[in-house]
Amino acid sequence: MALFIEINGVDRAAQVEWASVVVAYNLTSQVDTFNFTMRLAASQLPLIPSPPQTVVFREDTEVIFAGVIVQAPRQNVGNTGEVIVPVTAHDNQTLLTRKQIAATYENVTAGAIVRDIVAQVGNGFTTNGVQDGPVMKKYAINYRNAADAIEDIARLAGFDWFVSSTSTSRDVVFRAPGEAPEAWALTEEASTPFAASAPYSDLLYTEDVLQVRNVVTVKGARMDSDLVTQDVKADGVQRSFALTLGEVTEGSFIMKINGVGQLVGEEGVADVGTVDWLVNYKNRVVLAAKAGTPTPAAGATVSLVYRYFTQIITRARDEASIARFGEWEHTVTDEQITSRPVANAVAKAQLVYFAAPAMTIQYKTTRPGLTSGLRQRVNVPRLGVSSTFLLQNVELRLRGFTHSTTLMQGASVYLREWFVTGSKVVG
């Protein structure tokens, strides 16, 4: 099996110091990174890499990382003429930060907005992995880069999003959080010699209760209600009526008596000689404009029709978490939340990530098959660990590496080592 590091399509493996290779896979929209160092002779200086060249790291046909170079500083090696170049690359998601988006959307799905953003970016990005999600009643983007805009939409919709770093395609994935697939389980016997299902070392387990949020209130935008009708039965005496449903939207008030429309003006603005009733929006009351205004007869239906300001508020609870840890309340306030389904999605997403204490593991292993986003069952009795963890960060390093253009026809002899960080899955 051979390793290749292709920069702008040309394999540069011969100039790589393989012990420097580190690939970091991070959860969902967090950018994956690839770091490696190149050593170039004086005759190879025209080959020095530079941003934003493309880079693909692969083993045979398996893509380990694909992205773009973002940093490639250069350093002389004494008077040898050689140059050391420590390269940092980010996955292709970084290219979404290059395009500024300014647009307004109404009554479309979150996925439709993402598709439109990606279409504006172009640059080879596709949207085959974009799901529709909830309807956004109104959403405005005011000159934000495409990646930040999609991140905000994902937050409002309660979705995950990313661009895979293990594929040369640039397909944007935007989807509801689902059950993460299972990785192999790390288990260990309870007594010496503590035989384990895989070689591992330096396992660290920690718990932190300070981030628990199991009662989440989401407060969204203030907005106008639909037209509502407040009916009052007249008593034959009353000449003023309170508007009781909420803070009235100015200009929305209509009054009818037994279905007959009345002449209404705003108090302090309208000429009382031209109207029968005056509405005071601040004090939320309507009153007779003048002595000559007929008093509604006893039993008449006085219909007060208006819009009022309302705020989107929703609350979600995780009863299992509350039973175990007590109530830990948290409030999210965001004027961009303009519908109740979006508010509900935000609240549920908060519970998914924060209903349990931050229980994390860190360890090293040489067994393959791990990447961020997988679930892994860990059972190490001597540390009191028996839980399922979501792998948030997995770093791949190369250990004991040799590379030769003649050895086994260019094969690479090395040991992959994974540095794993995971957080406990709720429940």
Three state DSSP letters for the chain: CCEEEEECCEECHHHEEEEEEEEEEECCCCCCEEEEEEEECHHHHHHCCCCCCEEEEEECCEEEEEEEEEECCCEECCCCCCEEEEEEEEEHHHHHHHCEEEEEEEEEEHHHHHHHHHHHHCCCEEEEEECCCCEEEEEEEEEEEHHHHHHHHHHHHCCEEEECCCCCCEEEEEECCCCCCECCCEEECCCCCCCECCCEEEEEEEEECCCCCCEEEEEEEEEECCCEEEEEECCCCCCEEECCCCCECCCCCEEEECCEECCEEECCCCCCCCCCEEEECCCCEEEECCCCCCCCCCCCEEEEEECEEEEEEEEEECHHHHHHHCCCEEEEECCCCCCHHHHHHHHHHHHHHHCCCEEEEEEEECCCCCCCCCEEEEEEHHHCEEEEEEEEEEEEEEEEEEECCCHHHCCEEEEEEEEEEEEECCC
Distance, CA of 106 to CA of 135 (rounded, Å)? 9
pLDDT exceeds cutoff 90 at 413: no
Task: Give the model's pLDDT for residue 195.
Answer: 87
Least confident range of 41-50, 119-128, 134-143: 41-50
pLDDT exceeds cutoff 50 at 408: no
Least confident range of 110-114, 192-196, 301-305: 192-196
User: Same domain for 123 and 72?
Assistant: no
**Residue 99: band (very low, low, confident or very high) from pLDDT cuts 50, 70, 90:** very high
- Structural domain contains residue 399: yes
Distance, CA of 425 to CA of 352 (rounded, Å)? 9
- CATH number of the domain enclosing 380: 2.40.30
Higher pLDDT: 177 or 102? It is: 102
Q: What is the mean pLDDT of residues 53-80?
A: 91
Phi/psi at 98 (5° precision): -80, -15
Task: Give the model's pLDDT for residue 225.
Answer: 83
Q: What is the mean pLDDT of residues 288-293?
A: 91
Phi/psi at 174 (5° precision): -140, 110
- Structural domain contains residue 424: no
User: Same domain for 219 and 338?
Assistant: yes
Mean pLDDT of the chain: 88
Q: What is the mean pLDDT of residues 65-84?
A: 90
pLDDT tens, position by position, 240-285? 999 998 888 888 999 999 999 999 999 999 998 899 999 999 999 9
pLDDT exceeds cutoff 90 at 236: yes
CB atoms within 10 A of CB 337: 27
**Residue 192: band (very low, low, confident or very high) from pLDDT cuts 50, 70, 90:** confident
Domain containing 241: what range?
214-352
pTM of the model: 0.67
- Structural domain contains residue 343: yes
Q: Which residue has the tokens 């299992």?
A: 320
Q: What is the mean pLDDT of residues 298-316?
A: 92
Distance, CA of 51 to CA of 279 (rounded, Å)? 65
- Structural domain contains residue 200: yes
pLDDT tens, position by position, 330-371? 999 988 888 888 899 889 888 887 887 778 889 999 888 888
User: Same domain for 308 and 370?
Assistant: no
Reading the block at residue 344, the tokens are 């509900």
- Structural domain contains residue 325: yes
- Structural domain contains residue 420: no
Q: Structural domain tally of the chain?
A: 4
Q: What secondary structure, in 3-state letters, does 66-99 show?
A: EEEEEECCCEECCCCCCEEEEEEEEEHHHHHHHC
Task: Give the model's pLDDT for residue 366.
Answer: 87
Single out the residue in 59, 91, 123 at which a domain terminates. 91
Q: Of all residues in the chain, what percent carry a pLDDT higher than 70?
A: 95
**Residue 403: band (very low, low, confident or very high) from pLDDT cuts 50, 70, 90:** very low
- Structural domain contains residue 425: no
Answer yes or no: are the C-beta atoms of 146 and 118 closer than 8 Å: yes
